[in-house]
Amino acid sequence: MANLKELFEHYKSRDKSRIVDSIALGASFVDEMSIGLGLIENTDILMDTVSPISTALPFATVVLHEGSNVLFKHKSLKAGNQDTRYRLVRNGASLALGTMLNCIGAGIIALPCAIGLRLTLNRFRSKILTSYRVEKRIERIKALQQKELLPSAEYENNLLTESA
Residues in contact with 5: Cβ distance below 8 Å, sequence separation at least 6, in sequence order: none
* pTM assigned to the model: 0.56
Cα distances (angstroms) measured from residue 158 to each of 29, 43, 149: 73, 89, 14
- Hey, CA dihedral for 40, 45, 49, 51, is it positive or negative? positive
User: CA-CA distance, 78 to 95, in Å (whole number)?
Assistant: 26
pLDDT of residue 148: 66
- What is the pLDDT confidence band of residue 144, given thresholds at 50, 70 and 90? confident
User: Interior CA angle at 84 toward 68 and 33, to 5°?
Assistant: 100
pLDDT of residue 145: 75
- What is the pLDDT confidence band of residue 158, given thresholds at 50, 70 and 90? low
Mean per-residue pLDDT of the chain: 75
Q: Which DSSP symbol is given to 87? A: H
User: CA-CA distance, 114 to 51, in Å (whole number)?
Assistant: 19
pLDDT of residue 140: 84
Closest C-alpha among 55, 121, 127 to residue 89: 121
Residues 39-50 pLDDT 10s: 555 556 656 666
- Mean pLDDT score, 138-144: 83
